[in-house]
Chain A
Amino acid sequence: MQIQVKCNCGEQNCPEWAIVELQGVIEPQPAFQDRLQNLEIGQLCRASSQTYTFTVGYHELTGSKVPLKKPLLVLKKIRHADEEKVELEVIGIIRQRILFKTRPKALISSKFNLILP
């Protein structure tokens, strides 16, 4: 069996996708588990030219933009309804990611410290 890898975008125009990568798992509150669509995860902020922060709930992560050693292609599997033929289409490329590799810093405790005498 042979699967053709197709690409409609060409070398110069391959749309660039983005990755925000962090350690561990994002755990939505139980009330939202089944309806994540459109729910905000957090605020990504470019604090300075090098530093990015990602605020998720009461946690803040610090990270940076890192170029990937090897590019990633985003492929979409296309199954033709009439036949059994499967095709893969290149729909994007990823060359860099915003990487958060530190443990989150809790924001709430510092706030409490400020409020409580």
Chain B
Amino acid sequence: MEMVAEQPKSAFRGAEAVLNLPPTSSVSIAYHSLFGPHDDLILLELYEKLLPYVLHHRVTLRGQPDEDAVLCTMSKTYTVKFVGTSNSVLLIPPSDQLVLGGNTQDCDEKDRVKKLVAPVIKVAPGVMELVEVAPRIDRLKMLLSENPYRSDDALMSEELDEMGKNNTRFYSWSDLIDRVQASDDELRSGLQALSAVEIDGYWRIVDQNYMDGILNMLLHNLVLNDWSLNGLNEIEVVGVLQSDGFPCEIAQHCLQVYGSKTDDGVWKLDEKQTWVYAFDVSSLPSAPAERFSMLFRERPKWEWKDLQPYIRDLSAPGLSSEGLLLKYTRRTQPTPDAEPVFSAR
């Protein structure tokens, strides 16, 4: 013990004394002078791969007070569950953190110099564990369905700025992050799957009748102006739709929903989607069984590329699109090189 006293004191107290204990030496394990329940100290079990995200401030906990919290990285969502233990888990801080919460280091100083002490600050009742889960996109859908964008929104967008937003609930990105348990990436793809559009800083889904109206107008203009289905000029299309009374954001949104941008910078209307688009994803049931039964009611046979937009938001960890197809559809392929066709089971 004399030999020990000559060493720098700090290296031989707290967690270091326990972790770096040389063979044939010993350390006294004692209750800390501030020993207590310390409910504000939480142990979080982490996947090693998540560690850099946490240490670089890239994770947040999300949830309403009445929900179990989730932990989100940029791309994934994890539930946080408390797992208790019947073992006694003695928690020992390192020497430079022996004093927690700003109390002075008044305790048995003489004792410490004399011998090695590792003080136990609390007995941990268990740890918080993380399990990867699907984002709660259901809630996103519920929130956005409260107020779909309709034709009256387009007419009175100016008045809304003054009065409407106080009475009706609209959600900006940061409102959604506060309310929906999902990572940023998952929220973004959830918004995309619901065909939501950001208008005046608020995320909205667009009422299907209104979308049908603008699509009709677009097709009408296509014939009228002799535009090519495969070479729509965005500025021209948006300009014409605007003069027909549709807001610019909605006109652009229409191109995004019913078409795709080619490498030449022009828009190409997706023929099949344009004619078949009977409903938007946000109006479909979220439960896979109901979703598939509704889709097959609408059309008994689907090719993958037509079906994919309607089910891409359903896949969850441990349940891929392939898994969903296996479970809920019958796959037929007339010839080996033909496109597979999916029908109801």
Which residues of A line the B interface, CB within 8 A? 1-7, 9-11, 14-26, 36-49, 52, 54, 65, 70-79, 88, 90-92, 94, 96-98
Contacts and interface: CB of A to CB of B under 8 A. Distances in A.
- The prevalent SS among residues of A at the interface is strand
B91 to A, nearest CB: 6
B326 interface: no
A24 B89 CA distance: 10
B15 A46 contact: no
Interface stretch (B49-57, B212-220, B231-239): B49-57
Interface in B14-40: 14-16, 18-19, 21-35, 39-40
B41 interface: yes
Given A17-B92, A49-B23, A91-B97, 17 more contacts: A2-B60, A5-B60, A7-B55, A18-B18, A18-B94, A20-B118, A37-B35, A39-B30, A41-B30, A44-B26, A45-B26, A70-B46, A72-B44, A73-B51, A76-B40, A76-B41, A77-B40
Contacts of B34: 37
Which of A2, A18, A24, A78 neighbours the largest number of chain B CB atoms within 10 Å of its CB? A18
A19 B89 contact: yes
Interface residues of B, number: 68
A20 B18 contact: yes
B216 to A, nearest CB: 41
Given A2-B62, A38-B31, A44-B118, A70 B88 contact: no
A76 B44 CA distance: 11
Contacts of A72: 43-46, 127
Given A72-B43, A74-B41, A90 B55 contact: yes
15 contacts: A3-B69, A4-B60, A5-B57, A9-B55, A17-B15, A38-B31, A41-B30, A43-B26, A46-B26, A49-B23, A54-B29, A72-B44, A75-B41, A88-B42, A97-B89
B48 interface: yes
B15 A18 contact: yes
The 8 A-B pairs with the shortest beta carbon distances in the complex, nearest first, are A18-B15, A45-B26, A3-B61, A18-B18, A77-B40, A20-B90, A18-B92, A36-B31
Contacts of A90: 54-55
A11 B96 contact: no
Given A11-B52, A15-B94, A71-B48, A46 B24 contact: yes
A94 B108 CA distance: 26
Contacts of B55: 7, 9-11, 14, 90
Given A37-B33, A46-B21, A24 B63 contact: no
A36 B43 CA distance: 23
Contacts, number: 190
A2 B177 CA distance: 8
A14 B15 CA distance: 13
Contacts of A42: 28-29
B247 interface: no
Nearest to A77: B40
B250 interface: no
B134 interface: no
B178 interface: yes
A1 B178 contact: yes
A110 B205 CA distance: 78
A93 B98 CA distance: 15
A76 B102 CA distance: 13
B311 interface: no
Nearest to A41: B29
Contact of B88 (A10, A17, A25, A75): A25
A7 B57 contact: yes
Contacts of B64: 1
Given A19-B90, A24-B87, A70 B45 contact: yes
A41 B94 contact: no
Contacts of B86: 23-24
Contacts of B111: 38
Contact of A43 (B28, B42, B45): B28
B57 A4 contact: yes
